[in-house]
A = this chain, B = another copy of it.
Amino acid sequence: MKVVPIGERVLIKTLKDEEEKTKGGIYIPESAKEKKKEGEVVEVGTTKDGKELPLKKGDRILYGGYSYDKFELDDQEYIILDFKDVLAKIE
């Protein structure tokens, strides 16, 4: 089964805390409303003009915004994120 985002959206896997500290090394202060701010791109939607969004499967991203469409599949949490809430790519 594959979940393909419609429009300017990105499907990401949220990263578990352990993984977050090990791989990315980025610490988000407690005061931030939602702790997890790092994810891995799984599927990418398209712009209104049918162009590809400048992200690809496997990219590590930081994201902002406050409300997300979350769901779980096989114990992994996924988020369908508006592209405008993708803040940065971690290279």
A residues in contact (CB < 8 Å) with B = 1-7, 9, 11, 24-29, 32, 37, 43, 54-55, 61-62, 64, 69-73, 80, 84, 86-91
Q: A1-B24, A62-B80 are in contact. Are A29 and B86 (CB under 8 A)?
A: no
Which residue of the partner chain B has the closest CB to A73?
B26
A58 to chain B, nearest CB (A): 15
Give Cα A25–Cα B26 distance, bound, in whole angstroms.
31
Interface residues of A, dominant DSSP: strand
- Could you say how many copies of this chain the assembly holds? 7
Which residue of the partner chain B has the closest CB to A50?
B54
Chain B residues with Cβ under 8 A from A27's Cβ?
71-73
